[in-house]
Structure 1
Amino acid sequence: MSLESDIDDLWHRYDGGTLTADSAGREELDALDAFLTALETGEVRAAEPDGDGDWQSNEWVKRGILLNFGLREIAGREYGDVTYHDVLPLRETDDLPGRGTRNTPDGTVLRRGSYVGGDAIMMSPSFVNVGAYVGDGTLVDSCDTVGSCAQIGADVKLGANTLIGGVLEPVEDAPVVVEDGASLGAGCRVTSGFVVGENSVVAENTLLTPRIPVYDLVEEEVLYGHLPPERRAFTRFVESSVGDHDLFDGGAYKPAVVAMDVEETTMEAVEREEALRE
């Protein structure tokens, strides 16, 4: 049987009420351990590109993660001098140095079932949750959180205090995706399955969520749920539909994201720097 069929079998038994944490034996737990190891090696992922520019959730992988919460007992575990209580241990990190990846001490937490690629940097304190995927050469900076099943590409820079939200349920929902080469400034938040296109640059403290419109000045359209590739994005406030309400003296505004061509804005910054030096 394949790993996917093993998880499907466990899910049907668990969902049907014939398999519980009390009845799960060594065979079932071994299957769950093999599944977590496959996540850590990148053999399986919670979501993958479909070849047409979209991302598809692997529902069976999310079910496997949920099974690890449903079929395991909470146990006391050690992390340094601290005892914590969880159904999952932390991820072993002995494999990281051989791939050129480093994690700094005092608070770098990789949960079991998370993947971290080669030549990556994990600064402390940071947290990568179960099912998350962090690509090669990516920087996860101090105070960053990479939520469950989030997909972070290669050569990505997550600025300090960045929140990448997790999406575990419902299992068919696609998780947050930050594609290759993207750079997020400090304090950014990306939630609810939002997709940041490759090589985009997002300004500090920008909130990216499907509920906030993206005004793409390159294609002159309003988008929801994704930032196209090669964009420079930042927050602006636009007039709200309740702007003329008596309670709002001087008008009411709502946040929006403005997206411009990343090459043009980068050149403008270079030109301004050269002018200052002259």
Structure 2
Amino acid sequence: MTLESDVSDLWHRYQDGLTADETTDNDDAVLEAFLEALEAGEVRAAEKTGDAVTSWAANEWVKRGILLNFGLRETKAREYGGVTYYDVLPLRETADLGERGTRNTPDGTAIRRGAYLGEDCIMMSPSFVNMGAYVGDGALVDSCDTVGSCAQIGADVKLGANTLIGGVLEPVEDAPVIIEDGVSLGAGCRVTSGFRVGENSIVGENTLLTPRIPVYDLVEEEILYGHLPAERRAFTRMVESSVGDHDLFEGGAYKPAVVATHVEEDTLEATRREDALRE
């Protein structure tokens, strides 16, 4: 039997009505082994299947395993930083992080069980990484950042302060938010609903990336939804809205859009200087 088959079997029993108080020691061992595999980076909620940023597919059985850890666990009182909280799982043990050169500063940094952090990562406080998230080597999760359940953060990614990376746990067949290698997100960005950001892109502060907002790619001269191609510089601009024809909108109405251009060399140089400071 493999971990995948064990999780799949447990999922079918859960769908048939299995409850938390009916699980066996073997069931609990499967749930624990699954969390350990997530934390070791041995399994992931999504994997890249091709070269394009659109070539990501969800691992449905992994997302089901995460759901099982919610559905087949009992909520209990737990302690963190001298505060009692109630959850189905304790926070992740962090002893292995120091061995890999990864830092998580105190006073509010929280990593939930089932989250993976690679080598040489930095988590500034307060920040939060949810179950099933994958944070690649050399990534920076800055103050007040949230990395949602199942989100996939690549190597050498920089998440600016107060950035939200949304989670996509259900439906299990949907790929979560993807931030590919080398991406830099400015402070206050929001990436939600399975949006995918291509490698080495630089996104300006306070930009909202979601499949409902169009991306005007000036490089290929096309309008995209749900993803930003690799090696783009993206920022928010306002475009005319169709509701502007309504009498209530005197002078017109506008809606947000994302504009994408080539990454300029001076922008890359500024990013390299920032990297040097961190090193």
TM-score, length-scaled by structure 2: 0.94
* 1:82-139 CA-partner distances (Å, limit 9, x unpaired): 0110001100000001100000000110000000000000000000000000000000
Residue 177 of structure 1 aligns with which residue? 178
Gaps of 5+ in 1: 271-278
CA distance in 1, matches of 2:7, 2:263: 43
CA distance in 2, matches of 1:260, 1:266: 12
Match runs of 1:119-130 below 5 Å: 119-130=120-131
Taking only the aligned residue pairs, the percentage that are identical comes to 80
Match runs of 1:78-89 below 5 Å: 78-89=79-90
CA distance in 1, matches of 2:97, 2:51: 32
Q: Does 1:187 align with 2:188?
A: yes
Match runs of 1:38-49 below 5 Å: 38-49=37-48
CA distance in 2, matches of 1:238, 1:51: 33
AA matched with 2:78: R
CA distance in 2, matches of 1:80, 1:269: 37
C-alpha displacement at 1:22, in angstroms? 1.4
AA matched with 1:15: Q
CA distance in 2, matches of 1:52, 1:237: 31
TM-score, length-scaled by structure 1: 0.95
Assess, with a 3 A threshold, how the Cα gap between structure 1 residues 268 and 98 changes in structure 2: closer, same or farther.
closer
Residue 208 of structure 2 aligns with which residue? 207
AA matched with 2:30: A
AA matched with 1:194: F
The list of structure 1 runs, each at least 4 consecutive aligned residues, that deviate by more than 6 angstroms after superposition, is: 267-270
Match runs of 1:125-140 below 5 Å: 125-140=126-141
AA matched with 1:34: A
* 1:227-267 CA-partner distances (Å, limit 9, x unpaired): 00000000000000111210111100000000000036738
Gaps of 5+ in 2: 272-279
C-alpha displacement at 1:80, in angstroms? 1.5
* 1:203-248 CA-partner distances (Å, limit 9, x unpaired): 0000000000000000000000000000000000000011121011
CA distance in 2, matches of 1:167, 1:213: 20
Root-mean-square deviation (CA, aligned residues, Å) is 1.4
How many residues are aligned here? Answer: 269
Residue 20 of structure 1 aligns with which residue? 19
